[in-house]
Chain A
Amino acid sequence: MSEFVQSMLRGLGSGSIYALLALGFVIIYKSTRVISFAQPAFMLAGAVLVSYLAAEIGFFAAVPVAAVLIAVLALGVERTVLRPMIGKPVFVVAIITIGVDVVVRVVTNSFIGLDVRQVGDPWGLSTVTLFGVDVQQRYLVMFVTTAVVVAVLFAFFRFSRIGLAMRAVAYDQEVALAQGISVGSVFALSWAIAGGLAALAGVFVATGAGVDQQLWVIALKALPAIILGGLDSLGGAVVGGLAVGVVESLVGTYQGDVAPWLGPNFALVAPYVLMLVVLLVRPYGLFGSKEVERV
């Protein structure tokens, strides 16, 4: 039993990383109707930035600073690269973000080098005992931080004027324009928020293990999460992210005993299997809004 609970807690911890990344994807998708494949690069850049800053100003100061800097970077990318593409087919824009991803990642990699960089987190691999179950501190911190960030984000969208503007743009861009909302600044803001979330997620991925050149692969796990939850549902992103984390962790714990013929690393692709199964039943994910079809 305690093995099950441990596995669940680990899953919720890493799931909250996916949830942060998935929120970034969904925020960009809601306002611009584009999936930004540049998120993995921003995540990597955030982690690398913290690994440099942490030595100077300490981990807790480095994280927000890095998140803000990556947000500014994402804002810059949106202004220079994405802004000329407004109104073009979404697929073309998505491919452009792949190009951006490649460029940012190569530049970031040259700051990593061949060895692993540490982010200077105060937890390392130490564990605490919680209700009789051993759990790594970093998973608890991930989960709590994500919960706080999600609460703040939802309050922001619900209660602030800018949040209202963002919801209006997500609902209908032309009508929002007609009401005097600057759709351009909403686009820019959503990229900035997504960049900041990606940087935060990157730091958490790097805690305990450190930053290497392959870190960005983790960000791709957020893709089944957003499809699972539905591309345009913020709540769906959180649920999808947690679900992906838990499924991955449980499969990793039990698949070796139950179905060893699936191969030792099946846990890594289990989220994609889950995604395919869910899509067979609900083509727009669990919480995504079904497209209204008119001729």
Chain B
Amino acid sequence: MAVLKCDATIPERDKHILIKGEGQDGKCSIACNSATTPGDMTERGCTYAGCRGVVGGPVQDAIQLTHGPIGCAFFSWGYRPHIADSDFHMKYTFVSDMDESNVVFGGEKKLLQSIIEANEAFPEAKGVFIYNTCTTALIGDDGKDVAKIATEKIGKPVVFFPCEGFRGVSQSAGHHVGNETIFKNLVGTAEPEEDSAYSINILGDYNIKGDLRTFEPLFEAIGLNIVARFTGNVKVDELKVMHRAKLNVIHCARSATYVADMMETKYGTPSINVTLWGIENMSKALRDTAAFFGLEHEAEKVIKREVAKVMPKIEYYRKRLAGKKVFIYQGGPRAWHWPELLAELGMETIGAATTFGHADDYQKIYEKVNDGAFIIDNPNVPELEEILLTLKPDLFISGNKEKYVAYKLGVPFVNGHTYETGPYAGFSGMVNFARDMDKALSAPVWKLVKDMAQPVPGGLEEEVA
């Protein structure tokens, strides 16, 4: 018997679904990080999306150049609100715009030409990031070689990301490529003028709707220096010197552990994993980071002061939100970070899913949810619908595509990918988070929907001809 009715015809999906409970020895034995079943309405993106959209894209003073046909560049342009102090990377996207003859005869010349022209148009850019796509990988263009030639020609780093979409099973592979490429090509290529004994890098936060703004000042207030953000609101020059930080503070373990590991091996930089969402988590992140530098006292002061500021508001929302049941479906980390902050608000996570989680990620989810919680890997549209209809969560947290599925089913929704009105990180972000949950849940429209939604004209029978 399939766990979900809609999977009756594709029983292999069963391995990707798990209900936490008896008979399990504390291990989450879910199938994940494997190829999507053909024909699925998967929510997954591709390696290119993970690399260009998530890791490379936020670098604010690099020319973001896609080597391929135009679609990939068009679709990846400006859809992720990884904002920065300057918005060059958001305003401009570049593509070598391969046409049929380029596909037949190769696109290396066009790529080189594109780099040179892009650099001429924007001489202020500090480097060029080239992203490979399905087509250019298949025809065998040597982007790495072109990047080398171009670097000499324009005298700035030209970095090639081999992130063609068909590589790997999800966008997760793209994070890996992004980490490795930036590490190999940029990290350690310059030395900072000043070296501080109290310096950190923030890894795996992409500054969605300004997340960094909520927690950077807290780290600074305890006396720490931030060398680089990997890669929200970051400049090429900061990436170059990030090896000089004394500690790597990893927020999204899924997408950024790779670079931390490489830095540990090459430079001996230690790292710690933190969660920067939620009051408890954020406090712990500051404590743990401060402890590394012997700044515990300063950290406590900051925590006490800042928490006191937001607590009355959190309490207000907590009263309104307590007892609500939530289903979370996120790319990676939020699915295991957020059950904790939902719990802080008195809410319960009755199920969680990720688009591209690996075994260690699912283990984290498993440990954070209660018995009976529903865990699902790479769910598709019919599965999500069935979950929403049968588990009946009070609230669904996911991204833009799933938002309208939820709305059609009358389920309150919060956009956890790009945030409704974030930022959501840090102490002040937690207030925004709680406020958005409350808005979604208490909007009068849901009463209208309940009382007033019309049946489908003509009934359901004639639906499938």
Q: Do A and B come from one complex?
A: no
CB within 8 Å of A: which residues of B?
A: none
Question: Which A residues fall within an 8 A CB radius of B?
Answer: none
